[in-house]
Each structure stands twice: as C-alpha cells, then as structure tokens.
Amino acid sequence: GAGVSQTPSNKVTEKGKYVELRCDPISGHTALYWYRQSLGQGPEFLIYFQGTGAADDSGLPNDRFFAVRPEGSVSTLKIQRTERGDSAVYLCASSVSGRQSSGANVLTFGAGSRLTVL
C-alpha cells in the first residue's frame, strides 16, 4: 500500500482481556518495528522484524506481549490479560532492509492504535 496502515485506530477493552493490533507495512519494506508511546514520551521500542523473523524482541515488557509476522508483510501485536498500564498508543513503522542501507534510517510510521484498558 501507499503507507503504513494500522487497525484498529482505537481500542477500548477491559482489564484481563486479550487484544490484537494489526500493522500492514509499505509493500516491499522488509523491516518492521513496533513501538509504544505514552503521553509526553518518545516511542519506546518493543520489537523489530527483519522479514518473517523477530530480529530483536528485547523491548517486549513481559510474556503477555507477543508479535508475529508470518509471511513477512502484515504483523500482529498480541497482548494477553491486558492491564491498565498497557494503555498507550502502539505505533508500527516500516523501512527498507534493516541491513547496511541508508534507507534503513528512514522509518515510515502508521497513525497508531490507541489502546485504553479500563
């Protein structure tokens, strides 16, 4: 597609529920990032995919968070047993190959999915 698409744009859920957030990156972008942003803060790194594999998942807060990218395109961030502290905007970004490439410095972000856990 022309840009990075994220759905849903807004999600309100109750504490303890399961949520899935979807990201459709720019066609041909092999690198995909998930970030979490709270009000007044910078994007906090969660996980980075290079193709289908998670190259770095060191930012996932705990084992309630999991992300997949089975075909190297669309990615889904999954959060189990949501807690109020999970409330934030979840941002997805993509770029050309994350290897030795100047284009890998240019991340294109989606509009984000705002998650509110009541």
Give contact residues for another protein (rule: CB under 8 A): 33, 35, 40-45, 48, 50, 55-56, 58, 91, 93, 98-100, 102, 104-112
> What distance lies between CA 92 and its chain's CA centroid?
4
In angstroms, give the least distance from the CB of 43 to another protein.
5
C-alpha 49/C-alpha 107 separation (Å) is 13
Is 47 in contact with 56 (CB distance < 8 Å)? Answer: yes
In angstroms, give the least distance from the CB of 68 to another protein.
17
In angstroms, give the least distance from the CB of 16 to another protein.
29
Residue closer to another protein by CB (options 1, 40) is: 40
C-alpha 71/C-alpha 45 separation (Å) is 22
